[in-house]
Amino acid sequence: MTAKLAPPAGADVWLLRQPKPDDITGVLEMTELDENELQRARACRRQSGGYLYAAAHIALRRVLATYVGEPAGSLEFGRGPCPCCDQQHGRPILLRPLSDLHFSLSHSSGIVLIGVASVPIGVDVEKVPTAETARVCTAALHADERAELAEVPECAGTSAFGRLWTRKEAYLKGLGTGLGRDLSLDYLGWESDRHPKGWSVVDVPAGPRHTAAAAIGYDGAPSGPVTLRWLPMESLFSGTRADLANRDSVLAELAA
């Protein structure tokens, strides 16, 4: 019987790095995806994008299956209400099996990030942007975030912007609003004691070409550790059932 993970006291953040095409040793278990997921994977203009999308959603299913004890292919997803308009396009939720588990998924340029917690959580990973992208998007940020970025040396500017942007997106995904909320309203800059009340925001190490973050909404509840776990690509292949509950998967405990 496959080991089962208890819901984390704090949060578990799973990191998967997609190998280069020549280093992929198996075939993705596409049968675990539902029709909507399959269609979206096929709709990606680039083959690499479709492969990453499929890998990310198989990864999400297999990770969640480890916590809820149900087959990955049997999971059904929905959306909670959006805090901005109360329509059903807020945070993702599990419909089958019904569960209080919270989760979030992000993927970008060969990296997949999954967050799991007993409280609201959002995660985001992005490729370090170009200087032009950082320049254009900085204008939408909180005034104090803009001031902080203006003090960063030019050689480190894009990475600094990327760290701030992924914090912002992780927090907004945790809220359930996504980018529907004005980016200038919330401060997610270098002074952590000024971050939104009731939320812990941590930077996630994702290598030199990416920035990543997780936002956990404790809202007065006791906060536990944020554990970074490794998700091997081999665990997504047909015919494999990797033991994701194995403690060897732990990479680090992240400090808020």
Q: What are the domain boundaries of the chain?
A: 11-254
pLDDT in tens, 48-85: 899 999 999 999 999 999 999 999 999 999 999 888 88
pLDDT in tens, 88-134: 888 999 999 999 999 999 999 999 999 999 999 999 999 999 999 99
For 72-106, b where at least 16 C-beta lie within 10 A, e where not — what string?
Answer: beebebeeeebeeeeeeebbbbbeeeebebbbbbb
Number of H helices, E strands in the chain: 5, 10
Number of Cβ within 10 Å of residue 107's Cβ equals: 22
Q: Whole-angstrom Cα distance, residue 121 to residue 199?
A: 9
CA angle 49, 132, 163 (to 5 degrees): 70
Q: How confident is the model at residue 2 (pLDDT cuts 50, 70, 90)?
A: low
Q: Whole-angstrom Cα distance, residue 176 to residue 189?
A: 20
The confidence score (pLDDT) of residue 4 equals 81
Phi and psi of 182, rounded to 5°?
-55, 125
Q: How confident is the model at residue 246 (pLDDT cuts 50, 70, 90)?
A: confident
Segments in the chain forming alpha helices (H): 35-43, 47-68, 131-138, 143-150, 157-175
Residues near 45 by beta carbon (within 8 Å), at least 6 away in sequence? none
pLDDT beyond 50 at 173: yes
Instruction: Report the mean per-residue pLDDT for the chain.
Output: 93
CA angle 20, 50, 232 (to 5 degrees): 45
Q: How confident is the model at residue 144 (pLDDT cuts 50, 70, 90)?
A: very high
Q: Which residues pair with 216 in a beta bridge?
A: 121, 200
Q: Which residues pair with 125 in a beta bridge?
A: 212
User: What is 11-254's CATH superfamily?
Assistant: 4'-phosphopantetheinyl transferase domain (3.90.470.20)
